[in-house]
Amino acid sequence: MKIAPSVLTADFSNLKKELKSIENADYLHLDIMDGHFVPNISFGPAIAKEIEKNTELLLDVHLMVTDPFNWVEKFVFPKTKFITIHTEANKVSETISLIKKHQIGVGLSIKPATPVRDLLPYIKDAALVLVMTVEPGFGGQSFIMSSLDKVKDLVIIRKEMKLDFVIEVDGGINLETIALCRDAGVDIAVAGSYLFNQKDRIQGILSLR
């Protein structure tokens, strides 16, 4: 299991120290919110660039925005590994093409109420599929157990279609829920509140992994 801490709950007034405290993670997850697609605003490209400059980790950028096509190029950094967009957003196909143009891994995400079938028109282009295990927009929510059925469906789809995307989950991750995710077939878990509320985050990542 790979771990991608979400910096959404980090102390941004002490960014270098916060990033140092999770340096043994596999990726760094950046939640970008526009206040329209989700009812919250997080941070933009300037802060994301500052984060990128102060970490050795590859970035896993999650665009929770209505018009991702207009945002993609603002997050094309040397350390950007994935840019994830939602199938519920606008211009999905065009945005996928733009991400691929920059030779960055395409991530596709669905909200808890969105069925897996909505991914199918685009899934051959995906390097990563993110299943939201809480409603996107806020940290600290409880894990939605029915999300695990989507993970299991994606494992089957990946095998049947001979694809190689990784499966990621985001929301409500702790020691109990991550075990369920592992058993369902998850490859990467995004950890936010649970991890950043710990004194020893290095050990916290090791425990989750």
User: What are the catalytic residues?
Assistant: 31, 170
Look at the block and give the residue holding tokens 């509140």: 193
The residues facing 163 across adjacent strands are none
* Of 193, 191, 197, residue with least CA distance to 24: 191
In order, the DSSP letters of 58-122 are EEEEEEE-S-GGGTGGGG--TTEEEEEEETTSS-HHHHHHHHHHTT-EEEEEE-TTS-GGGGTTT
